[in-house]
C-alpha cells in the first residue's frame, strides 16, 4: 500500500492510479514553476505519497517529464477532436485556436511540446504525438478532397500550418503577443494563410 507522505494528513492520492496522479502533479509543477520545479520529490509531495513511490513508475525526472508531455498531447488531441466542425476551413481554424489555447493556459508545457529537441524513443510519447497531429492531417485531407483548398500535397499544407500556428503560439508563450488579443491575431494570421490555399477561379 502507498502511504501518504509527510505528517499523515491525506494527500491528493488515495487509491487507484498512482502513475496518473504523479503525472498530473508533475504537470501542475511544470505549469507553476517550469522544468526546474518538476522533480520526482516535488511530484510525490504534491500527490501526497512517499518520496520513494514515484520510482515504481519513473526511473528519473526525464521519465516523468516525458510522461507529462504525453499527457499534454493527449489532452490536446481530445481538444482537437472536440473542435471538429462540418466546414473544412473552419475546422482547420478551430484546430489552430486549440494550439493557441494551450499556449495561453500552459506556456511551459507548450514550449516543450513545440521544441525541436530529441524526443527519444518513448513509445507513449510517440503515439500521443502521432494522434495529436493526426487531427491536423485528417482535416487537411478532408479540405483538399472537397475542394475547399488547393494544394500539391497534404504534407506541404500541414508543415506550412504547423510553422505558422506554432510560431504564433511561441510568440504568445514569450509574451510578445498579449493574451487578450491572441485569438484575434490568430484569426488574422490564419486568414492570411487561407488566401494562399483557397481555390483560384479563372
pLDDT of 69-111, one tens digit each?
999 999 988 888 777 666 888 888 888 898 899 999 999 999 8
Is 48 in the same domain as 98? no
Domain count, the chain: 2
Average pLDDT, the chain: 84
Q: What's the gap between Cα 199 and its chain centre?
A: 31
d(CA 141, CA 129): 18
Is 148 in the same domain as 110? yes
Q: How many residues does the chain have?
A: 202
- Domain range for 93 is 69-197
Mean pLDDT of 166-185: 92
d(CA 80, CA 88): 13
For residue 2, count other CB atoms closer than 10 A to its CB: 18
Is 84 in the same domain as 163? yes
Write the DSSP symbol of residue 84: -
Is 93 in the same domain as 186? yes
**Which of 77, 60, 58 lies closest to 20 in space, CA to CA?**
58
Q: How confident is the model at residue 133 (pLDDT cuts 50, 70, 90)?
A: confident
Is 74 in the same domain as 101? yes
Is 42 in the same domain as 119? no
Q: CB–CB of 24/72 below 8 Å?
A: no
In this structure, what CATH number is given to the domain that contains residue 45?
1.10.10
Is 80 in the same domain as 150? yes
pTM, full prediction: 0.80
d(CA 11, CA 153): 51
Query: Does the pLDDT at position 112 exceed 90?
Result: no
Is 104 in the same domain as 180? yes
Q: How confident is the model at residue 15 (pLDDT cuts 50, 70, 90)?
A: very low
In this structure, what CATH number is given to the domain that contains residue 82?
1.10.357.10
- Give the least confident one: 12-16, 50-54, 114-118: 12-16
Q: How confident is the model at residue 47 (pLDDT cuts 50, 70, 90)?
A: very high
Is 163 in the same domain as 87? yes
Asked if the structure places residue 9 within a domain, the reply is no
Q: CB–CB of 58/40 below 8 Å?
A: yes
Q: CB–CB of 125/70 below 8 Å?
A: yes
Q: How confident is the model at residue 115 (pLDDT cuts 50, 70, 90)?
A: confident
Asked if the structure places residue 96 within a domain, the reply is yes
Tell me the CA end-to-end span of the chain in Å, nearest whole number: 72
Amino acid at each position: 500500500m502507498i502511504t501518504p507522505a509527510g505528517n499523515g494528513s491525506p494527500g491528493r492520492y488515495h487509491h487507484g492510479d498512482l502513475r496518473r496522479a504523479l503525472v498530473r502533479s508533475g504537470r501542475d509543477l511544470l505549469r507553476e514553476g517550469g522544468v526546474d520545479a518538476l522533480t520526482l520529490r516535488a511530484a510525490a509531495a504534491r500527490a501526497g505519497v512517499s518520496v520513494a513511490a514515484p520510482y515504481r513508475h519513473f526511473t528519473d525526472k526525464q521519465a516523468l517529464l516525458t510522461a507529462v508531455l504525453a499527457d499534454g498531447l493527449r489532452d490536446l488531441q481530445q481538444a482537437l477532436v472536440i473542435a471538429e466542425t462540418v466546414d473544412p476551413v473552419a475546422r482547420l481554424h478551430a484546430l489552430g485556436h486549440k494550439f493557441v489555447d494551450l499556449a495561453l493556459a500552459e506556456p511551459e508545457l507548450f514550449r516543450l511540446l513545440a521544441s525541436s529537441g530529441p524526443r527519444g524513443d518513448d513509445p507513449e510519447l510517440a503515439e500521443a504525438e502521432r494522434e495529436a497531429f493526426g487531427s491536423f492531417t485528417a482535416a487537411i485531407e478532408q479540405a483538399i478532397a472537397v475542394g475547399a483548398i488547393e494544394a500539391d500535397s497534404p504534407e506541404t499544407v500541414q508543415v506550412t500550418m504547423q510553422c505558422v500556428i506554432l510560431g504564433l503560439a511561441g510568440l504568445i508563450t514569450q509574451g510578445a503577443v498579449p493574451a487578450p488579443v491572441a485569438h484575434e491575431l490568430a484569426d488574422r494570421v490564419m486568414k492570411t494563410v487561407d488566401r494562399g490555399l483557397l481555390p483560384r477561379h479563372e
